[in-house]
Chain A
């Protein structure tokens, strides 16, 4: 048997039943069949062969008249045990030994009853030994507990009415328990509401394995404690966190949450759930719980789940088994009398009727699973070992040993495993669902893992599970809230008015939310509501209808003031407007059906707001009407729209002249002339730049703007001048000095080490150039002359042409023209040829200098280029555009004449380079 699913058992046809009986009895020894036949029909065995005996026995067992007669002679315990087998289709002797025990029958007595049933063929033993031996029907053998048994269908049918007759009826406890923990569906709904509100507004991040993020869980936990006190003990916190996990799974199972971008969010179904009636909501959640992926078993703190080295999870119930067990518990609970029930009695009843409702006594391995038991058969040495081993639960053990064996026995520790599970399901899941109240025999502080001892169905539980007609409190209606003059809103039965709470959230701030809720109305909350689409009238209407009266006057007037204030200033962000040349034209456009539906409203006589989504349609219609259109999109920032003719003069052509450009220019320049149809001129002056600085615009921002917008960019002189006017530079220092140049045989380092000379030198520029202050000159001159050094007037000034940058020197070396050469007309006239063998093998700085020189001269180059993944190098002629450092390497951007397109060349891949022959 696996699981508790009696409804799924399908009856066999008479022919199938007879076949099954024959196959089973065929595995029995002929003598055993003879004994059975004698027991059912004395004398029927005489002079018959085994097959004939089987035939007679099958006829007897399928005879509708014979089976009730046979049952009539049985003890009530025997009938009950047959009922246990019949309920599950088949079971094991181990399970029957457990189910049969009670105050009057110990294990040995039950074994005797079972032996009697087997010998009467009312309980049939499945299968034969794998070694070909006949089935042993001796239940005193240790391996007998492993035997799987079943009951003929005819016996089952006859039993249907008498199965549990020897069990005393369950009775309610005479006294209520000392301490009661009430189950409250209202509190569940409140927590679900707060959770959904949190998920709607904030969302819950999920980890990669789909579990909620710890930090977000803590935030949610805080959100659930609105108006409540935080848990004082760790164990309390663990229970609260456990409940939170339960709530989240329940919401997921009830399809009230959804995952968007790896975040858990409230689903759209949330609104209807919150606004639904209590019975509907309770039914939805109960149905979701029945099949919930949540293990009450794993929450038992008395048990430690251990790694199980064989296949599966040992005896730890899986999801389906958990769900089946929940159903078994609920069915038993609903059949119990109304009032407080002992949980122990309920669990005991489950043991006696459905002993394997949670965990099988003898695990059923799949045929493919290799084991000594399967391989050698039960009646072997290994079978005996297996039989001895099966008495222990597998995959979990006691958490708290207290000098006991850590392993739990299936034949002795029902109360600690299945019993605890029943208490756990009742004490947590069903109580959290508001379907049961639970009770403890002892009042006061309880230890961790203390389980409840009593249970009763709540009114909601009776209505939902037993379909009892219990009068329910009205959920909605009457005075739901009170608005006080201090702007506090008290929702009297918050949990019964979650729909109202959801509406209040839009325009009021929650201060506490418990059975009653307190909200405050303030300007920020009302503005929030208005921004979310509420109107003043709707807010007032909601409050007045829920309070069945009018609002306090001060509250009413203040709400009106806040709403008025909200409408006083309106900021339209990223909108589209259309401007007509005159009011009459705009009148016509507004009256035009095709245009009018694209215009939302008139802002001024000549300006109207356009519905942004249809702005293109408006433009098209205007074009169809023959109206010329000038469209500007401020999301775009066009470059090169002005001319900086001098550092102090900006010219803007009429086609580029728009209000926003003027606004930007006006920040640091003054408009000079802007005649109709002519270019506008702006002047930059030290005063205008000072104004810009005063308004927080730095000179670098001005330069960046001009650099982007000026067609020719900024020259060094423009930058120097504008920076100078803005006061960017510190004052430059100057002094009257003499420059002294030493011959190559001397250097200023040596001279400065002479004590007498050191104070006379103003500044050493290079090893052979130094500055000497005019007033110190006579002393220096005298000191040098005294040391036999002759002084000549005049400097050996380096010619300008020799002062070249490294790049320029490289260009000269390589026969390239520099920009200066081109300007001076001194560019080399005979560029080099670019055959592969003539390409220069340059690397590193030299290659960079070569390319910089080519860029300056705007000179095309021939390169030999090979990427690391290419087998052959190619010869390309490249017009260089830019040299860029990216990812720690130089890259040349240029136009490749061979490929006829822009390309990027990594300098590392350039094997050779030369000037292109033009």
Chain B
């Protein structure tokens, strides 16, 4: 566990990128590709934090793999 994860208060992360899948199998399938290399942290069976600097390559790889990912929340805060 990182220092942040050991912290017992609220943890607010801004400007990060997530991949959220409909089910665990889909996430496993997605992470088997390029996206798997850029996982920063797994939040649950269906949600992972990915490297926010690698979103474009991840999207490109997902589309190449045949996914049509829904993309939302663009624009840095």
Please report the C-alpha to C-alpha distance between residue A47 and residue B68 in the assembled complex, in whole angstroms.
108
Q: Is B10 in contact with A571, judged by CB distance below 8 angstroms?
A: no
Specify which chain B residues have a CB less than 8 angstroms from the CB of A634 in the assembled complex. Answer: 13-16, 52
A659 & B5 in contact (Cβ 8 Å cutoff): yes
Q: Contacts A574-B15, A628-B10, A634-B13 hold; do A612 and B40 have CB atoms under 8 A apart?
A: no
Instruction: Report the nearest A residue to B2, measured CB to CB.
Output: A657
Number of interface residues of A (CB under 8 A): 61
Q: How far is the CB of B3 from chain A (nearest CB, A)?
A: 3
Q: Is the CB of A635 within 8 A of B44?
A: no
Q: Is the CB of A573 within 8 A of B73?
A: yes
- Whether the pair B16, A658 counts as a contact (CB closer than 8 A) is no
Measured between beta carbons, the chain B residues less than 8 angstroms from A567 are 22, 70
User: Known contacts A573-B17, A576-B77, A630-B9; is A603 also within 8 Å of B49 by CB?
Assistant: no
A19, CB-defined interface residue at 8 Å:
no
B26 A569 Cβ-Cβ under 8 A: yes
Enumerate B8-62 residues with CB–CB distance to A below 8 Å.
8-22, 26, 30, 37, 39-41, 43-44, 47, 49, 51-52, 55, 58-59, 62
A576 to B11, CA, bound (A): 10
Distance between Cα atoms of A651 and B39 in the complex (Å): 22
Q: How far is the CA of A677 from the CA of B3 in the complex (A)?
A: 7
A651-680 near B? 1/0 per residue, CB < 8 Å: 011111111111100000000001011001
Establish whether residues B22 and A577, one from each chain, have CB atoms under 8 Å apart when the complex forms: no
Q: Are A576 and B15 in contact (CB under 8 A)?
A: yes
Residues of B in contact, count (CB < 8 Å): 49
Which of A568, A603, A629: most chain B Cβ within 10 A? A568
**What is the 8 Å Cβ interface bit string for chain A, positions 595-629, against chain B (1 contact, 0 not)?**
00000000111010010110100110010000111
On whether A629 and B9 interact (CB within 8 A), knowing A572-B17, A574-B75, the answer reads yes
Query: Any chain B CB within 8 A of the CB of A730?
Result: no
A743 at interface (Cβ–Cβ under 8 A)? no
| A568-B22 in contact (CB<8A) | yes
List residues of chain A with CB within 8 A of the CB of B41: 659, 663
Q: List the B residue with the shortest CB-CB distance to A582.
A: B8
Cβ of A566 under 8 Å from chain B: yes
Q: Is A570 an interface residue (CB 8 A)?
A: yes
| Smallest Cβ-Cβ distance to B37: which chain A residue | A695
Task: Find the residue from A634, A655, A674 having the highest chain B CB count within 10 A.
Answer: A634
In contact, B43 and A572 (Cβ under 8 angstroms): no
Q: Which of A438-446, A523-531, A839-847, A896-904 is the interface stretch? A: A523-531
**Docked-complex contact A603 and B47, CB < 8 angstroms:** yes
Cβ B6 vs Cβ A676 within 8 A: yes
Question: Distance in Å from the Cβ of B77 to the closest Cβ of chain A?
Answer: 5
CB distance from A635 to the nearest CB of B (A): 4
Residues of B within 8 A of A (CB): 1-22, 26, 30, 37, 39-41, 43-44, 47, 49, 51-52, 55, 58-59, 62, 67-77
List 8 interface pairs A-B (beta carbons < 8 Å), by A numbering. A566-B70, A615-B14, A628-B10, A630-B12, A631-B11, A632-B11, A657-B4, A674-B2
Beyond A656-B3, A674-B1, A676-B1, 10 additional contacts (C-beta under 8 Å) are A569-B67, A570-B69, A574-B74, A574-B76, A577-B16, A605-B44, A607-B47, A613-B77, A632-B12, A680-B2
